[in-house]
Structure 1
Amino acid sequence: MLRHDRYGLPLSTSSDLAVEQYQTGLDLLLSLWPGTAQTLEEAITADPSFALAYAARARLHAIQAESAEARSRIVTAEELVARHGTERERSHVGVLSLAINGQSVKALNGALAHVDRWPQDILIMSLPLGAFGLFAFSGMADHDQARVDLCERHARHFEADDWWFLTYRGWAHGENGNITLGRELTQRALEVRRNNVNAAHAFAHVLHESGASEEAEAHITDWLPVYNRSGILHGHIAWHGALVALEKGDAERALAIYGEHVAPSASTGVPINVVSDTSSFLWRLQAYDHAVPAGLWDEAATYASHYFRQAGFPFADFHMALIAAATGDFRALESRVAALTDLVETGSLPAGPVVPAICRAARAFAEEDYAGCARLLEPKANEVVRIGGSGAQREIVEDTLLVSLMRSGEADKARALLDKRLHRRPSPRDTRWRNSLVSG
């Protein structure tokens, strides 16, 4: 006899315990909360033939960058669902298999087709959404709008207080510029389910985009202690706190947060978060005229040397370029740029020529060729969105352009860019920079 999940979707298992543990594990997975692995394993133990439990476990392995384990579990799910699964379950497992096996274009198309038929299948609907989702890493220039469109197309299928949908709908609107709605939705999501790091993260991003530094600091200080240090995004939420301190010009506080939560020796995050958070923080620190303590860049480089060796993942490529540029490893940087250029020329890099360009700009900046850096970045400024990630993460590229303009004597261009940024959101740092240009 079929059981059902909380949205009424049939589940091919005869075990009530398996359903209970699967639903709990799915909620933990979609809120990125500790305990997910154990709970999903208990669902598998309760019914070793329950395909969707293996599929959800495979998804968690993939999030944790445990590729071999993810592939093994999704193969088991495919074998089981082929023997006794509904059409929806077979499609569910098939889409996850495409994503886990790196077939991102097919996975995105499959996910969109799947949720058109089963919009409340939230594990599949989650795949295109978020900063690291299939839309964000598709190379699309309009992926922020695409997330909004997906959420709004299916909003009628979710209750007003559905914490999962509130989280992702709020994230989508906040990143797409509707700060008021984004804040309303993410704040409500956190009220409905406080143990939800995705909502806490989305709310931090909305506060960042609105320039609410004091509120962001209070939010992170209040919420982070409830999230165990083993949580995947613990270090990344702390990274947001370090950025707030930098916004306020408090490098000492920012470095303290970095050392306690963000640095490779402290973070329990997955490699993409650790590499991007460490490199972007240290790059900002020096770009904002603060000294980077000895050894921090080397520590980041040592950690990063184990990951993302092959070019072709634009978000990682850019952050690896920052590390190489900052540590003077220009041979590695140029090798990556050459590989990226080849991919662009063969049409194999959907994000396009912006990727090698911003990597070259990182070297120019590190070599204090600020005019050259600005020449590389200015024509590509509107294309940086193609590398994926969030607005807060990509802001480092615009910061690098802005500092390059100021240091190369392009005061008028720097003022124009600052005015545009300050119109979009107030920023203590940008205000200080704008005032310095006026007084200068």
Structure 2
Amino acid sequence: MSTDQHGLAVSGASAAATRHYDRAIDELLHFRAEVDAEANAALAESPDFPMGNVLAAYLGLLTTEVEDARTARARFGAFLRRVDEASLPPRERAHLAAVRALLDGDFLTCGALLGEITAAHPRDALALIAGHQIDFLTGDARALRDRVGGALTAWRPDDPHYGHVLGMYAFGLEEAGHYDRSEEVGLRAVELNARDVWGIHAVAHTYEMQGRFGDGLRYLDARVPDWSSGTFFSVHSWWHYCLFALEAGDVPRVLAIYDAALADGQSSMELLDAAALLWRLHLEGAEQPARWRALADAWPARVAEPFYAFNDMHAVMSYVGAGRIGDAEKLIASREAYVAEGRPGVTNVAMTLRVGLPVCRALVAFGRGDHRAVVELLHPIRHRVNEFGGSHAQRDAVQRTLLEAALRSGARDLARTLVSERIGVRPCSPYNWLKQAAVAEAFGERAAAAAARERAGALAGAT
């Protein structure tokens, strides 16, 4: 029996297969595309290598791409027919159970099983990062923090992957609202490994959640070679850069980056980032018809089958932005039929029913100019939008849609409340003060509106 780079026994692997597996884990922690080649090389050396097959399954099932999931399901099923599970060590059998749950669409059970593996084997890097991604996909901030936090003391500061574990922990801390600690841990992660894109990403999130857009721009500008290309997260990191530039009011810069880095997205995650950025512009009246049309054309194949409600929302955004309301309504109708089927244990069914469908219906209502309906759909769920995944920064598109609909429908009291909440958390956000100006105008408070606009301008100019 071999031992992996983190000291854990692995069965059914030649020395060469174990080396490829170790390299694959390293590439995965760096979010580099080479992870697929190394995982395939491990299985080419030892086709029945249990942890190699587990890794390949996680890679296929956690991308939120239907085709990847279909391929992973067939490949893992063939492996299960060949393997004698009873002969495998307990840790590997536990991973097989976690993958089975994921194959069944049960994200929550998979996450719980991975948590049990991490508790028993805190240096199982695959269990840790797969569980971290499950927590992200389900929007579970507490688990994002505590899954990694509970394993942290088992990792030595001299371990080559200690910094990557810190990067994961920093993101969990940020999503759980511990911004000062998140910044500290994230900066340390990047200090240990300058190309830890998840750590860089965690620091960017921390600045976003505090409205520190100037710090965000400076931080990313100083590290462009480390995050801007060569990883699964390059496009997403450019999206974060654009959020900071939007706060600074630099729309031309945002559109230039969109065309250079986001417009030709090749995955659902990249299309999602493009839609989320254009939707923010759409809410402010900056229409982008050609960009929307191209983006809308890219979605149909990716949402032909229900898989992840968070993706559905961004497909609907794209259809609405492109003026293809009929396509948006067809997607919604297909998801209504999907949840009506029941499918017990499939996490995405609950995500779709409780959050996905109300949000998608609200986006269509916004596109139709029925802002009162938007408020009626989004206000009851605004504190549980996390249930269909993503980060606080990503889900802010929903909160901004609610705020804009409240302003446009004349729901002044609600708009005032929403803006007050935002300013209390992020008082240095120009966007928040511009919305405060809009609220003041709605109440006929012209002097207060002028003061709020002046505050927004001063903050934007302070970058």
TM-score, structure 1 length as denominator?
0.88
Tell me if the contact between 2:245 and 2:254 (Cα under 8 Å) persists in the aligned partners.
yes
1:174 offset after TM fit, Å? 0.3
Tell me if the contact between 1:224 and 1:234 (Cα under 8 Å) persists in the aligned partners.
no
The residue number in structure 2 matching 1:301 is: 296
The residue number in structure 1 matching 2:431 is: 429
The residue number in structure 2 matching 1:156 is: 153
More displaced stretch, 177-186 vs 229-238: 229-238
More displaced stretch, 154-163 vs 379-388: 154-163
SS across alignment from 1:382: coil
* AA aligned opposite 1:189: A
Tell me if the contact between 2:313 and 2:356 (Cα under 8 Å) persists in the aligned partners.
yes
More displaced stretch, 358-367 vs 54-63: 54-63
2-side partners of 1:198 and 1:221: how far apart?
Answer: 16
SS across alignment from 2:223: helix
1-side partners of 2:145 and 2:14: how far apart?
Answer: 37
* AA aligned opposite 1:154: A
With over 3 angstroms needed to count, the CA separation of the structure-2 counterparts of 1:430 and 1:19, relative to structure 1, is same
More displaced stretch, 207-216 vs 332-341: 332-341
* AA aligned opposite 2:435: W
Tell me if the contact between 1:357 and 1:376 (Cα under 8 Å) persists in the aligned partners.
yes
Structure 2: runs of 5 or more not aligned? 344-348, 441-447, 451-463
Could you list the per-position Cα deviations for residues 224-251 of structure 1 after superposition, in whole angstroms to 9, with x for gaps in the alignment?
Answer: 4334745222111111111211111111
* AA aligned opposite 1:424: V
Matched residues, number: 428
2-side partners of 1:38 and 1:218: how far apart?
Answer: 35
With over 3 angstroms needed to count, the CA separation of the structure-2 counterparts of 1:287 and 1:9, relative to structure 1, is same
The residue number in structure 2 matching 1:409 is: 410
Matched, 1:290 2:291: no
Could you list the per-position Cα deviations for residues 204-224 of structure 1 after superposition, in whole angstroms to 9, with x for gaps in the alignment?
Answer: 111211212112112323334
SS across alignment from 2:304: coil
Could you list the per-position Cα deviations for residues 363-393 of structure 1 after superposition, in whole angstroms to 9, with x for gaps in the alignment?
Answer: 2211222233222222221121111101011
Matched, 1:125 2:116: no
2-side partners of 1:21 and 1:250: how far apart?
Answer: 45
Tell me if the contact between 2:282 and 2:321 (Cα under 8 Å) persists in the aligned partners.
no
2-side partners of 1:333 and 1:291: how far apart?
Answer: 18
The residue number in structure 2 matching 1:102 is: 105
1:360 offset after TM fit, Å? 1.6
Tell me if the contact between 1:175 and 1:391 (Cα under 8 Å) persists in the aligned partners.
yes
The residue number in structure 2 matching 1:144 is: 141
SS across alignment from 2:350: coil
More displaced stretch, 418-427 vs 143-152: 143-152
Matched, 1:439 2:439: no
1:181 offset after TM fit, Å? 1.2
More displaced stretch, 92-101 vs 317-326: 92-101
1:81 offset after TM fit, Å? 6.8
Matched, 1:360 2:361: yes
The residue number in structure 1 matching 2:28 is: 29
More displaced stretch, 391-400 vs 115-124: 115-124
Could you list the per-position Cα deviations for residues 377-411 of structure 1 after superposition, in whole angstroms to 9, with x for gaps in the alignment?
Answer: 22221121111101011000111111122223334
2-side partners of 1:310 and 1:167: how far apart?
Answer: 33
Matched, 1:173 2:173: yes
1:99 offset after TM fit, Å? 2.1
Matched, 1:328 2:338: no
More displaced stretch, 225-234 vs 391-400: 225-234
Matched, 1:50 2:52: no
Tell me if the contact between 2:329 and 2:364 (Cα under 8 Å) persists in the aligned partners.
no
More displaced stretch, 416-425 vs 296-305: 416-425
Tell me if the contact between 1:34 and 1:228 (Cα under 8 Å) persists in the aligned partners.
no
Matched, 1:6 2:1: no
TM-score, structure 2 length as denominator?
0.84
With over 3 angstroms needed to count, the CA separation of the structure-2 counterparts of 1:199 and 1:74, relative to structure 1, is farther
More displaced stretch, 14-23 vs 305-314: 14-23
1-side partners of 2:79 and 2:193: how far apart?
Answer: 29
* AA aligned opposite 1:415: R
Tell me if the contact between 1:283 and 1:322 (Cα under 8 Å) persists in the aligned partners.
yes
Tell me if the contact between 2:30 and 2:231 (Cα under 8 Å) persists in the aligned partners.
no
1:45 offset after TM fit, Å? 4.5
1-side partners of 2:144 and 2:123: how far apart?
Answer: 16
2-side partners of 1:306 and 1:93: how far apart?
Answer: 30
* AA aligned opposite 1:26: I
Tell me if the contact between 2:32 and 2:230 (Cα under 8 Å) persists in the aligned partners.
no
Could you list the per-position Cα deviations for residues 247-284 of structure 1 after superposition, in whole angstroms to 9, with x for gaps in the alignment?
Answer: 11111110011110011x2x34x22x123112111111
Given candidates 306, 310, 313, the residue that maps to 2:305 is 310
With over 3 angstroms needed to count, the CA separation of the structure-2 counterparts of 1:104 and 1:369, relative to structure 1, is same
1-side partners of 2:71 and 2:305: how far apart?
Answer: 21
Tell me if the contact between 1:74 and 1:97 (Cα under 8 Å) persists in the aligned partners.
no
With over 3 angstroms needed to count, the CA separation of the structure-2 counterparts of 1:199 and 1:68, relative to structure 1, is same
The residue number in structure 1 matching 2:397 is: 396
1:150 offset after TM fit, Å? 2.6
1-side partners of 2:62 and 2:373: how far apart?
Answer: 38
More displaced stretch, 77-86 vs 92-101: 77-86
The residue number in structure 2 matching 1:115 is: 118
* AA aligned opposite 1:356: L
1-side partners of 2:154 and 2:276: how far apart?
Answer: 38
Tell me if the contact between 1:54 and 1:74 (Cα under 8 Å) persists in the aligned partners.
yes
More displaced stretch, 406-415 vs 178-187: 406-415
* AA aligned opposite 1:281: L
With over 3 angstroms needed to count, the CA separation of the structure-2 counterparts of 1:354 and 1:43, relative to structure 1, is closer
The residue number in structure 1 matching 2:346 is: none
* AA aligned opposite 2:392: G
2-side partners of 1:14 and 1:301: how far apart?
Answer: 45
* AA aligned opposite 2:377: L
* AA aligned opposite 2:255: L
SS across alignment from 1:306: helix
With over 3 angstroms needed to count, the CA separation of the structure-2 counterparts of 1:85 and 1:367, relative to structure 1, is same
Tell me if the contact between 2:25 and 2:35 (Cα under 8 Å) persists in the aligned partners.
yes
The residue number in structure 1 matching 2:461 is: none
More displaced stretch, 100-109 vs 412-421: 100-109
Moved over 6 A (4+): none
